[in-house]
Amino acid sequence: MYSVSVSDDYSEKLMRLAVEASPNGMVLVDVTGNIILANASAEALFGFNRNELIGQPIEVLVPERFSGQHPELRGNYYGNPETRAMGHGRDLYGQHRNGNEIPVEIGLNPINIGGQTYVLAAIVDITERQRAQEMMRLAVEAAPNGMILTDAEGRIALVNSLVETLFGYRRDELVGCNIDMLVPQHFRAHHPELRKSYFKKPVSRAMGKGRDLFALHKRGREFPVEIGLNPLHTEQGTMILASVVDITERKQNEEKLKANLKEKEVLLSEIHHRVKNNLQIIDSLIGIQSDRISGSTAVTALKDSQNRVRSIAKIHQILYESQDFSEVDFSSVLTSLVDNLTQSYGIDASKISIKLDATDILLPIDRGIPLGLIVNELVTNVFKHGFPDNKRGEIKIVLRELENNKISLEVEDNGIGIPEDSSILECDSLGLHLVETLVEQLDGEIDIHRRNPTRFTLLIPYKVSGAT
């Protein structure tokens, strides 16, 4: 308790100066409840001149609806005077001279002056604070998501109606309780530590980014949620406003989509498998037909057709064996095609070496099959015409991805080359006519270097022009 001697003029003047200098309304009341001192801030707060207040009972500043109980409360306080907040936990109001009520906070301080106990009341107008709190409450209530305001200890200070709907609790069952009650039991032990960690560096972010989050309904049912965390700096310290969204329907739709995609993947796998099998049947039929006819020209034509069928079948086999049925690893296609052609034409690896330099490139099937057939024709052409009379040599196949959304394919050999007077793409070779047609189909370009070395260079875009 503060003590001031009436005879000590200096101390009394010092107290008066301190009261006057306070930014809060200050009122000194004696044991009978009469005002004996008021400062300028109290005048501004209540609209009275201090001369109008001094000698008046303190109830002149108390709203009429509370003034009847006030003398009893005042008497109880004088029975055990101590420094404390008045009406702790309750809304307090003062009354302006014009009759308007003012929301206030009041601190009580007992002071002993000349053996008499007085009470110095510090009064703060919290109208603006309440207005801000009300605006926040309205904003939280109007939010399209569940909104929960908690303090550093995890105590719930505010929720909106959507939280009641989400969790099945009334808001009076939530406010004042710990947020952990909304966390599933098997996650609850770790939640306080996670909350402490967040308060060390509170920033707006998603909670548990990259992890599946679940909340607990009043009935014990868990449901998947997304939670956004937003720190708010208040007079009560940093608080967290959590936005909660029930994503049960989204999760269900995702599971349905995954199931549908799985069914389509199985279907596509089966389609590629059956196409490959059907092409292998055609391959076998062509082989049987080759064994039953005479004439090298006809046999050669059938073998060429057989290799084309095998090229297409090989791409479907690779797709069947892959995890992605929309794209094919074309470097794998090249390896398989070259191996197949080498065996088909009985190429002696000791005489003709084949070097394959291919970057890993994924192509859509509508790009992969035509390009595979082009490789088939160009390599076949080298095997048939590039090294006559068992001439030794080398074939290079280079596949590259370019920066301009194109791929480059080079088929090069050091064989006899192409005569200068031969119009390559206008000759009678079905294979080269097929190459020209397929390059046009792919919106590509082809460049031919005739000899030393002989080189076919193709530039092909990833997508057909105009495709989406």
Query: What are the Cα distances from residue 11, in Å, to 16, 114, 211?
Result: 9, 12, 65
**pLDDT tens digit string along 280-325?**
788 788 777 777 787 677 877 787 787 778 877 777 777 666 666 6
CATH class of 129-246: alpha beta
What's the maximum distance between 2 C-alpha atoms anywhere in the chain?
140
Backbone angles phi, psi at 257, to 5 degrees: -65, -40
User: Exposure of 424 by Cβ count < 10 A (0-12 exposed, 13-18 middle, 19+ buried)?
Assistant: middle
Q: What is the pLDDT of residue 431?
A: 62
Q: What per-residue confidence (pLDDT) applies to 4?
A: 46
Residue ranges of E strands in 75-221: 84-85, 92-95, 101-113, 116-125, 146-150, 156-159, 205-206, 213-216
Instruction: Determine the pLDDT at residue 424.
Output: 52
Structure tokens at 332: 């794998």
Q: Is 66 left (phi over 0), alpha (psi -120 to 50) or beta?
A: alpha
* 224 contacts 214 by C-beta, under 8 angstroms: yes
Backbone angles phi, psi at 184, to 5 degrees: -55, 150
Phi, psi (degrees; rounded to nearest 5) at 263? -60, -40
Q: Could you tell me the CA-to-CA distances from 148 to 163, 190, 264 in Å, in that order?
A: 7, 19, 42
pLDDT at 466: 42
In order of 1, 24, 57, 97, 104, the CA distances from 122 in angstroms are: 15, 6, 16, 18, 10
3-state secondary structure 433-462: HHHHHHHHHCCCEEEEECCCCEEEEEEEEC
Pairwise CA distance, residues 150 & 148, whole Å: 6
Residues of the chain with pLDDT under 70: 1-11, 88-89, 265, 268-269, 272-273, 295, 319-326, 420-431, 463-468
Give the fold, CATH level 3, of 326-468: Heat Shock Protein 90 (3.30.565)
Which pLDDT value is given to residue 5? Answer: 46
Q: Provide the 3-class DSSP secondary structure of residue 359.
A: coil
What token pair was written down for 200?
Answer: 């060390």
Q: What is the pLDDT of residue 6?
A: 43
354-396, pLDDT tens digit by residue?
999 988 888 887 888 888 888 888 888 888 888 888 889 999 9
Residue closest to 29 by CA, chosen among 96, 116, 125, 93: 116
CATH of 2-125, one of 3.10.20.740, 1.20.950.20, 3.30.450.20, 3.40.50.300: 3.30.450.20
E strand spans, 322-382: 327-329, 352-358, 362-364
Q: Using CB atoms within 10 A of its CB, is residue 361 exposed (0-12), middle (13-18) or buried (19+)?
A: buried
Alpha carbons 466 and 468: distance in angstroms, whole number: 7
Which residues neighbour 62 within 8 Å (Cβ) at sequence distance 6 or greater? 70, 94, 95
At 425 the pLDDT is 53
